[in-house]
Amino acid sequence: MHRLGQKFTLLSSCDVAPAMRAFCEMNHAPKTVFHDCCTDEWVKGVPAADLLVAGFPCQPFSVAGVHGGELDPRGTVIWWLLKWIRRAQPACVLLENVPGLVSCHPETLLNILEALQSIRLPGAGRSRYSVRWKILNSADFGLPQNRRRLYIVAARPDVVRWPFRWPEGGREVSLTSVLEAAPRTTTRQQIAAARPRAQRAARLVENVVRLLTAAGVDPVRACAVIDAGGTKGCWNLDRLPCLTASRGSTGGFWLTNRGRFTTSLELMRCQGFKPCEMDTSMLSARQLGRALGNAMSVDVVAALLKRLLQSTNFWRP
């Protein structure tokens, strides 16, 4: 909202993770803070607001997860969010989750959409939320990260001026452009010879470097990003794979044109955060990496909120 130049008051925030609450209180000073949204205290305690933004836990719906779906207790968060939406009837809603909700749990997505659409709003005529969903990739919004996420937007008809249009994206940047400069003292040879300390990770990096070299690609010039903390040695060129909470908290990705793992600063940039605008001193590097892997990409949220608010009478040019 700051980036969009829109005035706002953060009425409330909620997260079970104490570190996340501390971060939010320090950086955004919400009027009230809750620690569990799956409670009546939260549903009744959060005041009516014009906008709800929520990235609900994705593990139950993640393609990489155990596919527990609604049976997983973490999957219940969305139903408590819907309880609050039904009670407080915010003018606009933005929800975020993994694409696995579409591909592996379409019945849950349908239930969520139907629950939103079935909320009876006061007033005559079309008194239902208009609800849309789409999968967007952060890589199309000026961030060097392949991060496909499902976004659900809803607006109350009494505030809608124009039909909502999805932001187009189409703005790609290279990962190298957001990397910290290599120290002047590091030579090409040192970068080429550098390997992760852990044996398995070193082997994965070695294999990718061999592959690149065999294909005529210079791994010191090209920025190959290797998931050296994983088991398969997945890699791609000049773009981060999707940063997950677990990868963020365990050192990030290996960069062949730097001969090292990504830094916290680089991971922040890949999620659209401007380090100079935030205080992260209360978080350990592990907590910060985890938070970044959990976060919504700032540039995507900004593009979505711009379109959502512009379609309503809340937008102030």
Ligand X SMILES: C[S@@+](CC[C@H](N)C(=O)[O-])C[C@H]1O[C@@H](n2cnc3c(N)ncnc32)[C@H](O)[C@@H]1O
Q: Where do contacts with ligand X occur on this chain (CB under 6 A)? A: 14-17, 20, 36-38, 55, 57-58, 74, 77, 294-296
Please report how close the Cβ of residue 41 comes to ligand X at its closest, in angstroms.
11
Residue 83 vs 260, nearer CB to ligand X = 83
* C-alpha pair distances (Å), 188 with each of 34, 184, 195, 215: 51, 10, 14, 19
CB 180 within 8 A of CB 261: no
Which residues, at least 6 apart from 139, have a Cβ–Cβ distance to it below 8 Å? 145, 146, 147, 172, 239
Q: What three-state secondary structure class fits 52?
A: strand
Give the nearest distance from C-beta 289 to ligand X in angstroms. Answer: 13
Is 58 a residue of the active site?
A: yes
15 vs 299 by CB, closer to ligand X: 15
The minimum distance between CB 201 and ligand X, in angstroms, equals: 26
Report the distance separating Cα 89 and Cα 314, nearest Å.
15
252 closest CA partner among 275, 286, 284: 286
Measured from the CB of residue 312, what is the shortest distance to ligand X in angstroms? 22
Q: Quick one: tokens of 62?
A: 């993640």
User: Which of 14, 24, 37, 58 is flagged as catalytic?
Assistant: 58
CB atoms under 10 Å from CB of 149, counted, come to 21
Distance CA 158, CA 162 (A): 11
Closer to ligand X by Cβ: residue 61 or 254: 61
Q: Which has the closest alpha carbon to 305: 98, 190, 161, 167?
A: 167
Comparing CB distances to ligand X, the nearer of 226 and 291 is 291
Q: For the CB of residue 11, give the shortest distance to ligand X in the complex, in Å.
A: 15
Residue 14 or 46: the one with the smaller Cβ distance to ligand X is: 14
Residue 181 token pair: 């400069």
Both structure tokens of 172: 């790609």
CB of 59 to ligand X, least distance (A): 8
User: 119 has which bridge partners?
Assistant: none
Q: Which is nearer to ligand X, 137 or 294 (CB)?
A: 294
92-97 and 51-55 beta bridge pairing: parallel
Which residue reads 């794979």 in tokens? 241
Active site members: 58
